[in-house]
Structure 1
Amino acid sequence: MKTIIEPFRIKSVEPIFLTSRSEREQLLQDAHFNPFLLRAKDVTIDLLTDSGTGAMSSNQWAAIMRGDESYAGSESFYRFESVIRNLTAMPFILPVHQGRAAEKILFSIIGGPGKYVLSNTLFDTTRANIEVSGATGVDLLCPEGKQPSLIAPFKGNMDEAALENFINDKGAGNISMVIMTVTNNSGGGQPVSMANIRNVKKICSGYGIPFFIDACRFAENCYFIKTREPGFQDRSILEIAQELFSYADGCTMSAKKDAFANIGGFMAMHNKALADECRNVLIITEGFPTYGGLAGRDLEAIATGLEEIVQEDYLAYRIRSIAYLGEQLDKEGIPYLKPTGGHALYLDAKAFLPHIPVDKYPAQALCCQLYIEGGVRGVEIGSVMFGKYDPDGKLIPAANELVRLAFPRRMYTQSHLDYVAEVIVQLYHSRSRITGLIITEETPYLRHFTAKFKPDTTKILQDDLQHIAL
């Protein structure tokens, strides 16, 4: 059948409060042209993130009622541990309150000045925690992943030749870790092939470098492996996931993604000495090792979510929904990163708004206009999130200027997708009127969360002068 149906029934609903265009214009101005600073009640369709924003199942809500809130030795922890051990086969498992807590603990131990952490593409909090430690994060994305319009099955892969060259250039002793992000979030939600994971593990083993998985969206990645990589079509998602984790020395995960939970995460590994160090920091910063900053009910919800996420019917619906949105945009020739990814569609702001230079942040400008046009909130993944400054204060732009529209799990229906498509199409037809933005306030790390902007009036004045001349 061509019609996408949600493989679940809706038992509870949350109201959406609608706003007018003039109201949204004022609300965005009050938020300093940063959608992060909007109040959630003023957003019609919230695609800012799929992290912790999904709908939990009836089984997860039932599991919450079983939560054992004992400070130490909670039975909920042992269920949590058992599910993760079955998935990863890693003996040392530490709960944390979310993914970035795992990153903070891990990189405070293995990072430091002069060290490098290599990845296919690091996401924002991962890179920030690496940099805070004094280490340097390096992206080694495969060549096809750098071409937004190119259709290829595994654009999230790491460049294996570049990896070996970097190790030989800097020395294996200076590489703290290689961490593979699956799916590749900053790279458009693109999947990583099992062959690439296997080959990168082999390279790392040859140089004695630890190989970790950033497993936030492991199940979505495994679905792509099943449907795109020869030899996996007849294997279950769980079996594919178990093989994927078998190549890793450890992993971190935000359970707010592919575990359907509103909060939580974990780190897991084979190395006892590293696990002991991580546990010591965890006790200081997160809590006792059997709760790690989480309530027992959260541990139960995560364990149930990890069992549900490997259900193939759900993953087929999830991936197909994002592809459906891409098909609607293809009808109008609207540029986005192709093929569609697992959890999000990424608009290509450089191609969408070619008249806005990168130092005026076209992706941030497009984010703002999506909100004004239809109350849709996305997130900039471009030079606001990943740009740097040279010693003279000039912007070193990101490789791409993208707007991520990340869909919360089990939350929106196909009619919501149709509405989002309509908003994007309308905006595309009036795109020449969109102007860039200037940063007025920012922080040294993760500036996109709290930065403030103002419109680039230079372009507005130029247009006014041109109109007068005509």
Structure 2
Amino acid sequence: MELPYSEPYKIKMVETIKRSTKEERLKWIKQANYNLFNLASEKVFIDLLTDSGTGAMSDKQWAEMMIGDESYAGSSSFKKLKKTVKKITGFNYFLPTHQGRAAENVLFSAMVKEGDIVPGNSHFDTTKGHIEFRKATAVDCTIDEAFDTSNMHPFKGNIDVHKLETVFKKYPKDKIPFVILTITCNSAGGQPVSVENTKAVSKLCKQYGIPLYFDAARFSENAYFIKKREEGYADKTIKEIVKEVFSYGDGMTMSAKKDGLVNMGGFIALNNKAVYKQATVFNIMFEGFITYGGMNGRDMGALAVGLDESTEFNYLESRIEQVAFLGKKLVEYGVPVQQPFGGHAIFLDANKFVPSIPRDEYRAQALAIELYIVGGIRGVEIGTVLADRDPFTRKNRYPELELVRLAIPRRTYTNNHIAYVAATLKNIYDSRDEAKSGYVIVDEAPIMRHFTAKFSKI
């Protein structure tokens, strides 16, 4: 008999979470203007809003917190992190930032200008936000299979090379500062990108003289899928796969709050010295001196350990198998989800779950709210609300997929918690025919509205 996977750690400390009643949650979500971001954490039972910075650190990471060097310049913790980043990614130049969107802000300030075109694979919300804030345009070149949640393509995060070349041919080279490849592709459902596709994209970029950068927040989870799904990689270590993937690019931004296994932090890693010198100017302006960049020394030390831990197979197998545990339960219950299951989250297909709610009434947001009301579970909408308005027409953009993301924090919840989430969703799905109407936005920010928008129930 094959033994099931088991977590490669034991629990040393616990945190109390509070149960609440449905009546309390109805009151709280109304007070929050039906925006799950506005809920106080103590009003949430199981928090799957994001896997960003919400995981548990290891004993070795906490040990690093005690010996962090908080020197303003030349910190030994910085040197430790720089050495680790070089060892794992292979990139020669390194700038710490306080989180991933800060890394984007610094790099894009150096490279993106008004009128530019930035192709990629379903850009993440902050990535697109930073591009559009600079009056540039993000162009999605993801393969079509990514938009069919029942299609079992193993690498739905892949870029369609023909779509990408069409962009290269349509616009002059000086209008395309870089291609950004997100690994794994969050907006497509936490879907991985293959080495074969990365190599093909890299080859095309070199042919046209355009740099290739990675949004690498979940790079180690991406490497796990390569090991499990791509021919020729089963016997390679995660660290070997990671090193190869990054060898095809010119640089990366990193939200260390994901596969860095820390609560706060990020960085930029590069091979181009000229871009590095430009970026240092903005890093000092926006983040801090180049040897701390908005991070404490203790956090840099914890991140150095986290990067090593997250690129070990046993950790990744436990983490991704827990995500799959939720996915398998939901499939067993008939609940429509993006398949194959992603690395960090399960994505509910709201188009199939509640098709009776009109798209202009934000059906994925309505489903996410219902999940909170029924079970005290907080997820997040990845659909029309997040897609925001077209910056030129100011009309809603309707993406092909309307998703609710259930992001699983790393090393945080047990499978009993996950089973509770699945059972709650089964109950909601069994009564889905009762869902007839959704919500209307009554107040929103001009960009990245999903964080602070206010809704009213129709």
TM over 0.5: yes
Structure 1 CA distance for aligned equivalents of residues 65 and 393 of structure 2: 53
The one-letter amino acid paired with 1:438 is: V
Structure 2 CA distance for aligned equivalents of residues 393 and 248 of structure 1: 35
SS in 2 for 1:62: helix
Distance 1:394 1:335, change over 3 A: same
Give the structure 2 partner of residue 221 of structure 1.
222
Structure 1 portions without partners, runs of 5+: 457-470
The one-letter amino acid paired with 1:171 is: P
Displacement after TM superposition at 1:88 (Å)? 1.4
Give the structure 1 partner of residue 339 of structure 2.
338
Structure 2 portions without partners, runs of 5+: none
Matches within 5 A, 1:146-161: 146-161=147-162
SS in 1 for 2:249: coil
Displacement after TM superposition at 1:5 (Å)? 2.5
Give the structure 2 partner of residue 406 of structure 1.
407
Encode CA deviations 1:186-216: one digit per residue, 9 max, x unaligned.
0000000000001100000111101001110
Displacement after TM superposition at 1:321 (Å)? 1.3
Q: Please, what is the CA RMSD of the aligned residues? A: 1.1
Encode CA deviations 1:351-378: one digit per residue, 9 max, x unaligned.
1001011110000000100000100000
Displacement after TM superposition at 1:396 (Å)? 2.9
Q: Is 2:345–2:405's contact at 8 Å kept on the other side of the alignment?
A: yes
Q: Is 2:56–2:410's contact at 8 Å kept on the other side of the alignment?
A: yes
Matches within 5 A, 1:7-406: 7-389=8-390, 394-406=395-407
SS in 2 for 1:301: helix
Displacement after TM superposition at 1:447 (Å)? 0.4
SS in 2 for 1:385: helix
Q: Is 2:220–2:311's contact at 8 Å kept on the other side of the alignment?
A: yes
SS in 2 for 1:176: coil
SS in 2 for 1:87: helix
Displacement after TM superposition at 1:433 (Å)? 2.4
Q: TM-score, normalised by structure 1?
A: 0.95
SS in 1 for 2:113: coil
The one-letter amino acid paired with 2:442 is: T
Give the structure 2 partner of residue 431 of structure 1.
432
SS in 2 for 1:251: strand
Distance 1:393 1:211, change over 3 A: closer
Range with greater deviation from structure 2 (214-223 or 2-11) = 2-11
Q: Is 2:125–2:448's contact at 8 Å kept on the other side of the alignment?
A: yes
Q: Is 1:4–1:414's contact at 8 Å kept on the other side of the alignment?
A: no
Structure 2 CA distance for aligned equivalents of residues 117 and 392 of structure 1: 20
Displacement after TM superposition at 1:264 (Å)? 0.3
SS in 2 for 1:150: coil
2:448 to 446, 456, 460: 446
Structure 2 CA distance for aligned equivalents of residues 4 and 424 of structure 1: 25
Encode CA deviations 1:308-339: one digit per residue, 9 max, x unaligned.
00110111111111111111111221111111
Displacement after TM superposition at 1:134 (Å)? 1.5
Q: Is 1:178–1:212's contact at 8 Å kept on the other side of the alignment?
A: yes
SS in 1 for 2:384: coil
SS in 2 for 1:384: helix
The one-letter amino acid paired with 1:439 is: I
Structure 1 CA distance for aligned equivalents of residues 160 and 74 of structure 2: 43
Distance 1:393 1:206, change over 3 A: closer
The one-letter amino acid paired with 1:448 is: H
Number of residues paired by the alignment? Answer: 456
SS in 2 for 1:50: coil
SS in 2 for 1:396: coil
Runs of 4+ with deviation above 3 angstroms: 1-4, 389-394
The one-letter amino acid paired with 2:345 is: A
The one-letter amino acid paired with 1:275 is: Y
The one-letter amino acid paired with 1:72 is: A
Q: TM-score, normalised by structure 2?
A: 0.98
Give the structure 2 partner of residue 462 of structure 1.
none
The one-letter amino acid paired with 1:388 is: R
Distance 1:20 1:2, change over 3 A: farther
The one-letter amino acid paired with 1:345 is: I
The one-letter amino acid paired with 1:449 is: F
The one-letter amino acid paired with 1:282 is: N
Structure 1 CA distance for aligned equivalents of residues 250 and 149 of structure 2: 31
Distance 1:66 1:370, change over 3 A: same
Q: Is 1:76–1:296's contact at 8 Å kept on the other side of the alignment?
A: yes
The one-letter amino acid paired with 2:366 is: A
Distance 1:373 1:172, change over 3 A: same
Q: Is 1:387–1:398's contact at 8 Å kept on the other side of the alignment?
A: no
Structure 1 CA distance for aligned equivalents of residues 397 and 182 of structure 2: 23
The one-letter amino acid paired with 1:159 is: D
Q: Is 1:190–1:342's contact at 8 Å kept on the other side of the alignment?
A: yes
Q: Is 2:388–2:447's contact at 8 Å kept on the other side of the alignment?
A: no
Q: Is 2:250–2:270's contact at 8 Å kept on the other side of the alignment?
A: yes
Displacement after TM superposition at 1:267 (Å)? 0.1
The one-letter amino acid paired with 1:11 is: K
Structure 1 CA distance for aligned equivalents of residues 226 and 5 of structure 2: 21
Q: Is 1:348–1:402's contact at 8 Å kept on the other side of the alignment?
A: yes
Displacement after TM superposition at 1:172 (Å)? 2.2
Structure 2 CA distance for aligned equivalents of residues 4 and 102 of structure 1: 35
Q: Is 1:348–1:403's contact at 8 Å kept on the other side of the alignment?
A: yes
The one-letter amino acid paired with 1:315 is: L
The one-letter amino acid paired with 1:285 is: F
Distance 1:359 1:274, change over 3 A: same
Encode CA deviations 1:104-163: one digit per residue, 9 max, x unaligned.
111122111210111111000111011111211111101111111111100110000110
The one-letter amino acid paired with 2:448 is: L
Range with greater deviation from structure 2 (9-18 or 329-338) = 329-338
Q: Is 2:217–2:254's contact at 8 Å kept on the other side of the alignment?
A: yes
Structure 1 CA distance for aligned equivalents of residues 7 and 393 of structure 2: 52
Displacement after TM superposition at 1:397 (Å)? 1.0
Report % sequence identity.
Answer: 49
SS in 2 for 1:439: strand
Range with greater deviation from structure 2 (168-177 or 259-268) = 168-177
Give the structure 2 partner of residue 465 of structure 1.
none
